[in-house]
Amino acid sequence: VGILAVLAGLRWLDESTAPHRAKLDPVGILLLTAGLACLLGGLVGLHHLGLGAASLLVLASVPLFAWLGRHEAGFEESGAMPLLSIRLLRLPAFIFGALAVLVFYASCSSYYVSFAVFLQFGAGLSPFHAGLLFTPIAAIFAATSILAPRLIGRYGNSVLRTSALVYAIGYAVVWLILARSGAEPSLWRLMPVMLIVAAVQGFIMTPLLNVVLGALPESHAGMAGGSIATMQQVGNALGIAVIGLV
């Protein structure tokens, strides 16, 4: 898929160049990578490292992120293009948007990991049959993801707000079904709710990124896009790490 995407980009995307060549920020890259590695490594590796070592890793990320902030501020004041602009962090639209992306992706990853574990160890399905149950979920998600831009163009951000509300209610309904089912939960009761949740996830995911990036100045579009993509991956890892603790 990646190779096809590169070939398609070379064929149909026009080349563009910035008026001024940006200077690489290797120190910022190193600090950000080290900070994220400590934070996520401590959360994900809690069971293997133990509480003490994992806590030290998480705490080590705090001075690294603080150092990153000071470095990026100085780097930007020197006239260079920072890895993460401090001005961007002062925009409420970016802060709230990044938090929304973080929470949404964390909830998605933890939700599907929990469901996969439940299907195999709770419902007693084989990995193959558990995977088959994800097929209609993936199909409806793909369909609503394609449909979402049209609905947003017609009804605006109300689609996003309504989908987020249904998404939260769907999680609550899933929890109630599992809580009342006891040791023998019913897949026939779960699957309709799971399909609804998958549908609204498709209505949320693409519009959410577009809304966040659309609210920011064009001069920060590339930096904001990279930051939001990082928040997606951090959210995925954070959701799996947190649900693993539970």
Contact of 185 with 121, CB cutoff 8 Å: no
Does position 73 have pLDDT exceeding 90, yes or no? no
- The pLDDT tens digits for 120-169 are 887 778 888 888 888 888 899 999 988 988 888 888 888 888 998 999 99
Residue 18: what pLDDT?
61
111, burial (CB in 10 Å: exposed 0-12, middle 13-18, buried 19+): buried
Contact of 83 with 220, CB cutoff 8 Å: no
Quote the mean pLDDT of the chain: 83
The crossing angle, in degrees rounded to 10, of helices 158-181 and 187-214 is 150
Residue 114: what pLDDT?
84
For 25, which DSSP code? -
Distance CA(68)–CA(45), nearest Å, equals 24
Q: Residue 91: which of 206, 221, 205, 209 has the closest Cα?
A: 221
Q: Residue 245: which of 47, 37, 103 has the closest Cα?
A: 47
pTM of the model: 0.77
- The pLDDT tens digits for 160-215 are 889 989 999 988 888 888 777 765 667 778 888 889 999 999 898 878 887 787 77
Q: Residue 231: which of 86, 132, 84, 15 has the closest Cα?
A: 84
* pLDDT confidence tier of residue 60, bands split at 50, 70 and 90: very high
122 vs 239, higher pLDDT: 239
Rounded to the nearest 5 degrees, what angle is found at the Cα of 61, between the Cα atoms of 60 and 66? Answer: 110
Does position 3 have pLDDT exceeding 80, yes or no? yes
Does position 87 have pLDDT exceeding 70, yes or no? yes
